[in-house]
């Protein structure tokens, strides 16, 4: 995610995720961290527990009287209620019928999963919407809702290793405000983003379960099928490849089926309905490209997207093969208040006002590259926990910075500025790999602070080794989730030496270590209360740009 309204580096610590809008803290309704800063400073990088073995599935003598409920959390310190245990989601089939007259959706989400423990009951994340039926393996099943959980109690316990198929039918109103979940920044009351002709989807990091019931944490990726039925003449697009399109029996509707066969975190789901033009554009580096733009603005939007193929080829050169079957840019009218761009998998989201105005062409291209870079860093390799958000935003910022500065002439001063601001960012938000709260996870500390860590690593190991680390990260973890400890271990393995002593303070300390190669660099003193604009303090000219 990245801001689309601010001019750019060094971003204010008050801006949000890939934030395009006015500065502002995200909602205080976001959850607080479970651990104190002191405890966190002592803690090893947090890694979610692996699912329990499903190996007892063949043990016919196992006593299911010992079956227990699946956990109603995966234990993420920034979002302690998010995610669920006891099963592994494998595939979601999302059927949605959009009714233009009421601007509402009739939906059925079918989750295919496998039990990872003997289960007496299990839960999904689901918030808002009106459930009309829940069926388990084809039959009715008892369910209950509390907070943002949908709790399923099967008539008989489910043995570990057993596949299960849960179908939830529900009615949704994308314009509803009756949700508990808060998507930061709180420009919309849910992941549904209504537009005049339909809706788009923006659920990062914690609210995609306002659109469909899911195990809504990036540590449980799944594949997806989307079956989107819309009035004839309306366009429907989702993540992945278009598989088929067919008319309804009365020829008033069209159904489009999309599949995303690469594992995807729920927060990266994109479902688009409305007046859009799907433009196939020439690909690059073997990557098929299709952009989805508001039809009314296509003539203004498409000329701004013409560097896309070049940018894809540039990223492939640096990060390795593109991890998915297709890429594209989704540019809707009517969402400019959203204020951010978002790296939804295979189809990144950009508000049309930001693209069309093109007031700062370099800034616009940076944001396009930022979301493209996330396809490798954040999507293909998802964060193991939300405390690892710097792995997403630090890398996306790093590639955005490098794209905008092909000869490297500005990178040095940019990193110098970020270094100067670093202690203040850490004082305001916590260590780079251990944000104090969910409210600060999309502050500058994850973006410029994360990119600064990558610069420090490159200074330490050299350009060639750094380039090998970046490509090895993708080769090792594509299609999976990975955390900060994984990054430190992989960097050490590629560099051929133990980098824990170097990277740990860069990632887990509140004070900024010395920058290799720049012994003269100093940090600005931490002020009693963090100033609203670190950028202005660090580099007035840059902030005013």
Give me the residues that bind Zn ion (CB under 5 A), please: 1-2, 18, 393, 396
Least distance CB 513 / Zn ion (angstroms): 25
Tell me whether residue 268 or residue 273 sits nearer to Zn ion (CB atom): 268
Tell me how far apart the alpha carbons of residues 178 and 109 are, in angstroms, rounded to a whole number: 20
Angle 136-83-426 from CA coordinates, rounded to 5°: 170
Tell me whether residue 393 or residue 439 sits nearer to Zn ion (CB atom): 393
User: What's the per-residue H, E or C state across 84-141?
Assistant: CCCEEEEEEEEEEEEECCCCEEEEEEEEEEEECCCECCEEEECCCCEEEEEEECCEEC
SS3 73: coil
First to last CA, the chain: 21
Least distance CB 162 / Zn ion (angstroms): 38
Least distance CB 270 / Zn ion (angstroms): 15
Tell me whether residue 2 or residue 151 sits nearer to Zn ion (CB atom): 2
Least distance CB 378 / Zn ion (angstroms): 7
135 has which bridge partners?
A: 140, 167
**Tokens matching residue 192:** 């549904």
Tell me whether residue 197 or residue 397 sits nearer to Zn ion (CB atom): 397
Least distance CB 351 / Zn ion (angstroms): 15
Least distance CB 342 / Zn ion (angstroms): 8
Least distance CB 442 / Zn ion (angstroms): 8
User: In sequence order, what DSSP letters do the residues of 251-298 get, joined into one string?
Assistant: SSEEEEEEEEEEEE-GGG--EEEESEEEEEEEEETTEEEEEEEEGGGH
Tell me whether residue 93 or residue 393 sits nearer to Zn ion (CB atom): 393
Least distance CB 538 / Zn ion (angstroms): 21
**Tokens matching residue 419:** 């270094």
Say if CB 17 and CB 2 are below 8 A apart: yes
Tell me how far apart the alpha carbons of residues 233 and 279 are, in angstroms, rounded to a whole number: 16
Tell me whether residue 15 or residue 215 sits nearer to Zn ion (CB atom): 15
Cis peptide before 452 (omega within 30 of 0): no
Angle 458-460-461 from CA coordinates, rounded to 5°: 70
Report the residue number whose CB is nearest to Zn ion: 18
Tell me whether residue 356 or residue 374 sits nearer to Zn ion (CB atom): 374
Tell me whether residue 109 or residue 188 sits nearer to Zn ion (CB atom): 188
Least distance CB 246 / Zn ion (angstroms): 36
Least distance CB 16 / Zn ion (angstroms): 10
Tell me whether residue 126 or residue 350 sits nearer to Zn ion (CB atom): 350
Tell me whether residue 391 or residue 396 sits nearer to Zn ion (CB atom): 396
Tell me how far apart the alpha carbons of residues 239 and 333 are, in angstroms, rounded to a whole number: 19
Rg (CA), the chain: 23
Tell me whether residue 213 or residue 323 sits nearer to Zn ion (CB atom): 323
Helix axes 444-461, 500-508, angle to 10 degrees: 160
Instruction: Provide the residue count of the chain.
Output: 545
Tell me how far apart the alpha carbons of residues 152 and 124 are, in angstroms, rounded to a whole number: 8
The residue ranges of DSSP E strands in 403-472, in sequence order, are none
Backbone angles phi, psi at 426, to 5 degrees: -70, -35
Least distance CB 501 / Zn ion (angstroms): 29
Contacts of 74 (CB under 8 A, 6+ apart): 48, 82, 83, 84, 85, 217, 219, 220
Contacts of 304 (CB under 8 A, 6+ apart): 355, 356, 358, 361, 364
User: What's the per-residue H, E or C state across 480-522?
Assistant: EEECHHHHHHHHHHHHCCCCHHHHHHHHHCCCCCCCCCCCCCC
Q: Which of 246, 364, 378, 355 is nearest to 292 (CA)?
A: 355
Tell me how far apart the alpha carbons of residues 481 and 83 are, in angstroms, rounded to a whole number: 14
Least distance CB 171 / Zn ion (angstroms): 33
Tell me whether residue 371 or residue 417 sits nearer to Zn ion (CB atom): 371
Tell me whether residue 1 or residue 503 sits nearer to Zn ion (CB atom): 1
Least distance CB 17 / Zn ion (angstroms): 6
Contacts of 57 (CB under 8 A, 6+ apart): 159, 160, 161, 162
Q: Which of 507, 541, 486, 527 is nearest to 13 (CA)?
A: 527
């Amino acid at each position: 995610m990245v801001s689309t309204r601010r001019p750019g580096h060094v971003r204010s610590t008050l801006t949000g995720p890939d934030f395009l809008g006015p500065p502002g803290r995200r909602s205080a309704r976001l959850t607080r961290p479970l651990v104190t800063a002191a405890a966190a400073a002592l803690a090893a990088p947090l890694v979610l527990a692996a699912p329990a073995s499903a190996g007892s599935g063949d043990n016919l003598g196992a006593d299911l009287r010992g079956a227990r409920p699946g956990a109603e959390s995966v234990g993420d310190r920034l979002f302690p209620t998010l995610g669920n245990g006891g099963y592994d989601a494998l595939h979601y089939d999302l059927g949605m019928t959009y009714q233009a007259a009421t601007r509402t959706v009739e939906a059925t989400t079918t989750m295919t999963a496998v039990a990872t423990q003997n289960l007496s009951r299990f839960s999904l994340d689901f918030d808002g919407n009106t459930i009309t039926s829940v069926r388990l393996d084809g039959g009715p099943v008892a369910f209950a809702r509390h907070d943002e959980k949908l709790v399923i109690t099967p008539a008989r316990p489910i043995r570990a290793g057993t596949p299960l198929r849960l179908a939830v039918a529900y009615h949704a109103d994308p314009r509803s405000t009756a949700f508990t979940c808060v998507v930061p920044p709180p420009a919309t009351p849910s992941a549904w983003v209504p537009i005049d002709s339909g809706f788009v989807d923006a659920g990062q990091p914690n609210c995609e379960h306002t659109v469909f019931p899911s195990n809504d944490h990036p540590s449980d990726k799944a594949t997806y099928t989307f079956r989107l039925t819309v009035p004839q003449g309306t366009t429907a697009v989702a993540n992945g490849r278009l598989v088929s399109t067919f008319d309804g029996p009365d020829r008033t509707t069209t159904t489009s089926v999309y599949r995303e066969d690469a594992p995807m975190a729920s927060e990266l789901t994109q479902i688009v309905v409305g007046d859009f033009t799907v433009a196939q554009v020439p690909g690059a580096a073997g990557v098929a490209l299709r952009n989805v733009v508001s039809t009314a603005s296509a003539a203004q939007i498409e000329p701004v997207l013409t560097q896309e193929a070049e940018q894809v080829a540039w990223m492939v050169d640096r990060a390795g093969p593109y991890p998915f079957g297709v890429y594209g840019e989704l540019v809707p009218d009517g969402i400019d208040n959203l204020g951010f761009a978002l790296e939804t998998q295979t189809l990144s989201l950009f508000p049309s006002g930001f693209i069309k105005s093109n007031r700062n062409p370099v800034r616009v291209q940076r944001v396009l590259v930022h979301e493209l870079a996330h396809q490798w860093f954040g999507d293909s390799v998802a964060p193991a926990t939300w405390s690892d958000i710097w792995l997403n935003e630090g890398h996306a910022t790093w590639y955005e910075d490098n794209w905008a500065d092909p000869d490297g002439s500005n990178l040095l001063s940019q990193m110098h500025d970020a270094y100067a601001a670093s202690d203040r960012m850490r004082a305001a938000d916590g260590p780079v790999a251990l944000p104090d709260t969910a409210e600060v996870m999309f502050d500058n500390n994850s973006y410029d602070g994360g990119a600064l860590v990558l610069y420090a690593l490159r200074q330490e190991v050299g350009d060639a080794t750094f380039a090998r680390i970046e490509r090895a990260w993708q080769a090792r973890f594509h299609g999976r989730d990975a955390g900060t400890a994984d990054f430190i271990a992989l960097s050490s393995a590629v560099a051929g030496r133990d980098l824990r002593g170097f990277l740990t303070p860069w990632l887990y300390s509140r004070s900024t270590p010395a920058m290799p190669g720049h012994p003269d660099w100093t940090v600005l003193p931490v002020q009693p209360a963090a100033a609203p604009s670190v950028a202005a303090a660090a580099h007035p000219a840059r902030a005013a740009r």
